[in-house]
Structure 1
Amino acid sequence: MLEGLIAPLILLLGAAGSGWLARVRWEKRSASIRQQRPPPVHADYLRGIRYLVNEDADRAIETFIRVLEVDNETAETHLALGNLFRRQGDIDRALRLHQNLVARPNLAPAHRNQARYELAQDYLKAGVLDRAEDLFVDLVDQSSFAERSLNGLITIHEQVRDWEQAIAATQHLERVRGASLRPIIAQYHCELAEQAAAAGDDPGVNGQLKAARQAYQNCARISLIAGGVAERNRDYRGAIRAYREVLVQDIAFATETLEPIRRCFDACDDVVGYIDFLQAFMVEVNGAAGHVAYARHLQRADRVDEAIAHLSRYLQSEASWVGFYHLLELASADPRSNLTGPLDNLRRSLARIIDHEPTYRCGHCGFSGRYLHWQCPSCRQWNTVAPRQDIRPSE
């Protein structure tokens, strides 16, 4: 237990000791004429040292806090100590310190506002969101705390999925920063669109998607949602148009459209249209996904030889584990083919890797997973998670 509290104890010990030494020097100067001895060491300070020697860290901390009286000279030390407690996960101590600071009537406004902000952060980390929100709202009008408090409010609105409030707070933050946050606002409208879609409210979906386009028209999620709604309503041509917009908006998400577009062309019984789409896709989009989709289409049309030849040609110029796996799959499915033992073992190994390998990765923090998250679960950034183009068996 003592090891985890070394830093707070050092901070308190140094602050309390410095305070005592400063008081001794002042007393010595003021009493030099009278030749008085310096006042004795504060009893609580000695008691704290004894607790520290006996490895009773909790009581040592409480004792040093009592020695270090709260005033404008020591407020920074209390704030730093409270922040240290919060970072170490000791939320109760952080709350007590910051609440004690806020309650001091003679504290300077700057220190009081800082203490209120830190207290809001304590409540946020403790999950007491209503109290944190009240403090952040009060601090938004303070110019030095406006941006940080708006960020805190946005975090709360995202946690409770109050996307309307998140939009309002983010628009306010745009004005404070003087910089665009339109891609994030578009994501909030997409969240509202998905809620409307789940409720079967197509007019609500359309309204939110329109607002998302006005905020940031290059958000690929807009077209993926629009395509899904059109497909659900059996408007397959409309769905295809929506899905194809993704290639214009953000080509990183192009592979997300391959399976939905195949379904829509199948529903329209439009083989020629699907082949035309794949031919264009293979030219516009780098990576094996389009070539694999085309080879699989040839396989479904009983043109396995052509499918194998197509992937073989592609792999002669581009290295792709995914492409190679599908080539082995096509070869193993051909009754005229007989994969040798090592190749078949490689095919099985690649199948296991592909089944468990993350298919999405965050470009900001490196988080990876098998599901698409528009907001990274790790770093909480929007628009940073994208599909991976290939696997990495050696990692």
Structure 2
Amino acid sequence: MDFETWWLIFVPIVFALGWVAARVDFRQMMSETRNLPDSYFKGLNFLLNEQPDRAIDAFVEVAKLDPETTELHFALGSLFRRRGEMERAIRVHQSLLSRADLPQADRENAQYQIAQDYLKAGLLDRAELAFEHVQETRFAIPAMRALIRIYESEHDWPKAIEAVRRLQAMADEPVPQIVHYQCEQIELALNPRAPDFAAADKALDAAENALRQLGAGHASAAAQARVASLRARKAHLQGQEEQERAALVSIMDTAPEYIGLFAQDLLKAYDQLGRLAAGVDLLRTHYQHYPTLDVFSILFKQIRELEGYEQAWRFARHALRAQPSLLGLDKMLEVELQDDSHKQVPGVVNDGSPAAAIVAGADLSLLRSLIHKHTQRLDRYSCQTCGFEAKHYYWQCPGCNSWETYKPLRLEELK
């Protein structure tokens, strides 16, 4: 009986306390609402009516009336940055940092936000310093990623490599572009005018080590092809023909679709060893499995020189039947017309030439000029991220600065 009486007393007390707490919270909420400036509600109304410019003006007025509105300052700073108004964004975040009473968490956030402002404004030196200031905070990882982008844009490859290592010490995440950072250092060391073979060896070893650490899941064919091609270039500069040939042949195994970018170098290496015919046979066999325009045009020219016109045109007819291509025909005719002894005069058929025997009565010069007008726009590489087109192949897109976004194929081959 005592237990039941206890509950009869306790339950009403609990309900009474809850009612009092609710009344207190409601009154406090109403009081805070009444204290909000009218500009705050005007700003909300403008946002709902899709009038962002007027909304920003209203919120700026709120921030002036009540400097304690920290979250509103952060929101305004982000809005200004997204709209490209970098001076206003920087001023907002600087005003937060100037407050002596700003909580530590908000101060760190303001420091990170102003670093982003500097980065978007192109003030890279200030951005670098600001991102370094938050390395001991919860923003350390995104700040380090931003620092990597800064060093990359400045082509400061040693700092970029060091930043990647610092990032990997914070978070176990792959950074595939570190291989290209090492390759950029190799490119600098292999300057033909003053090659630094010791520095090149060190960077090559580092690049190959980075490939091994990335593993099969993250080491791209592009990166493997680039490292092998640079090892071949170093061997070429040192007069090591066999090592150069072996490095280029390795691309056929690790990155077979990229051999077209280095096919001419491969044949030159075989030629220096007195084995050009073997190189042509190897490349022809590879072409059967990985046909590309680059390999086609190089093979046609070499077969024409080694085996004659008929064998070259027989190869071309078979290849173009399997992979129809206006660009392929254009490049083939270009090779024919480079030989002055077989150029045809408009309106005159040179029946004695081997080319005329194969293409009876054709004016190759006229035919090529007609085709070339339609193939110029197709004879380009295209970035798969931003669509930037270029006559030359790039490991890093000049348009969007993304790595490995160019396929080793021309536009016509991508369709």
The normalised TM-score by structure 2 is: 0.73
Please list, as runs of the form range in 1=range in 2, the aligned pairs for 1:94-105 lying within 5 A after superposition.
94-105=89-100
Query: What secondary structure is seen at the aligned counterpart in 2 of 1:386?
Result: coil
**Within 5 Å, which residues of 2 pair with 1:356-375?**
356-357=377-378, 359-375=380-396
Counterpart in the other structure of 1:13? none
Tell me the alpha carbon deviations over residues 205-263 of structure 1, each in whole angstroms, 9 at most, x when there is no partner.
01100110011155211111121222233322221111122222322321111111122
Which aligned pairs between 1:27-66 and structure 2 lie closer than 5 A?
A: 64=61, 66=63
Single out whichever of 257-266 and 282-291 deviates more from structure 2: 282-291
Distance 2:335 2:178 in 1: 44
Q: Is the 8 A contact 1:367 1:378 kept in 2?
A: yes
Report what 1:188 is aligned to. 181
Per the alignment, do residues 188 and 307 of structure 1 end up closer, same or farther by CA in structure 2, a change over 3 Å counting? Answer: same
Gaps of 5+ in 1: 1-21, 30-37, 50-55
Q: 1:350 to 1:83 in 2, by over 3 A?
A: farther
Matched, 1:315 2:291: no
Whether 2:161 is the aligned partner of 1:167: answer: yes
**Distance change >3 Å, CA 92–CA 339, structure 1 → 2:** farther
Q: Distance in 1 between matches of 2:396 and 2:157?
A: 13
Alignment of 1:251-262 (within 5 A): 251-262=256-267
CA distance in 2, matches of 1:340, 1:204: 55
**Are the counterparts in 2 of residues 361 and 387 from structure 1 also a CA contact under 8 Å?**
no
Q: State the Cα distance separating 1:302 from its structure 2 match.
A: 6.0
Alignment-derived partner of residue 197 in structure 2 = 202
Alpha-carbon separation, structure 2, partners of 1:329 and 1:391: 18
SS across alignment from 2:201: helix
Shift of 1:346: 5.5
Structure number with larger C-alpha Rg: 2
After TM superposition, the structure 1 stretch with the greater mean CA deviation from structure 2, 332-341 or 212-221, is: 332-341
Q: How many angstroms apart in 1 are the aligned matches of 2:374 and 2:188?
A: 34
SS state at 2:407 partner: strand
Q: 1:280-359 counterparts in 2 under 5 A?
A: 280-301=285-306, 303-329=308-334, 334-336=355-357, 337-338=359-360, 340=362, 347-357=368-378, 359=380
Distance across 1 between alignment mates of 2:37 and 2:57: 20
The equivalent of 1:157 in structure 2 is 151
8 Å CA contact 2:270, 2:278 repeated in 1: yes
CA contact under 8 A between 2:94 and 2:114: conserved in structure 1?
Answer: yes
**Aligned-residue offset at 1:63:** 6.2
Kept after mapping to 2: 8 A contact 1:236/1:264: yes
Contact 1:133 1:153 survives alignment (8 Å): yes
Q: CA deviation at 1:171?
A: 2.0
Deviation at 1:113?
Answer: 1.7
Q: 1:81 aligns with which of 76, 82, 93?
A: 76
Q: What do the CA deviations read for 1:3-47 (whole angstroms, capped 9, x no partner)?
A: xxxxxxxxxxxxxxxxxxx99952897xxxxxxxx99968xx9xx
Matched, 1:148 2:133: no
Measured on the aligned residues, the alpha-carbon RMSD in Å equals 3.5
Letter in 2 for 1:186: V
CA distance in 1, matches of 2:200, 2:190: 6
Q: Is the 8 A contact 1:24 1:39 kept in 2?
A: no
Structure 1 match to 2:66: 69
| Residues 388/169 of structure 1: CA separation in 2 closer, same or farther (3 Å cut) | same
Matched, 1:234 2:239: yes
Do the aligned residues in 1 keep the contact of 2:59 with 2:76 (CA within 8 Å)?
no
Give the number of the structure with larger relative contact order, counting CA–CA contacts within 8 Å between residues 6 or more apart.
Answer: 1
What does residue 112 of structure 2 align with?
117
> How far has the Cα of 1:274 moved from its partner?
1.9
Normalising by structure 1, what TM-score?
Answer: 0.76
Contact 1:224 1:243 survives alignment (8 Å): yes
Kindly provide the CA deviation profile for residues 279-312 of structure 1, in whole angstroms up to 9, marking residues without a partner as x. Answer: 3322342334333322211222361111111111
Does 2:244 correspond to 1:247?
no
| 1:104-133 deviation per Cα after TM superposition (whole angstroms, max 9, x unaligned) | 222233322221111001112223222211
Quote the offset at 1:65 in angstroms: 5.8
Amino acid paired to 1:157:
Y
Quote the residue 1:224 is aligned against.
229
Aligned partner of 1:4 in structure 2 is none
Show the counterpart of 1:388.
409
The answer for unaligned runs of 5 or more in structure 2 is: 1-26, 47-52, 213-218, 343-354
Q: Report the Cα distance in structure 2 between the residues aligned to 1:192 and 1:39, rounded to whole angstroms.
A: 58
Q: State the distance in 1 between where 2:117 and 2:189 align.
A: 34
Contact 1:320 1:390 in 2 (8 A): no
CA contact (8 A) 1:252 1:387 kept: yes
Relative distance call for 1:288 and 1:123 in structure 2 (3 A) is closer
**Are the equivalent residues in 1 in contact too, given 2:326–2:375 (CA < 8 A)?**
no
Compare 222-231 and 106-115 and name the one that shifted more.
Answer: 106-115
**Is residue 101 of structure 2 the alignment partner of residue 106 of structure 1?**
yes
Report the CA distance between 1:204 and its aligned residue: 0.8
Residue 264 of structure 1: which of 269, 275, 294 is its match?
Answer: 269
Q: Are the aligned partners of 2:115 and 2:127 in contact in 1 as well (CA < 8 Å)?
A: yes
In the alignment, the residues of structure 2 paired with residue 28 and residue 85 of structure 1 have an alpha-carbon distance, to the nearest angstrom, of: 26
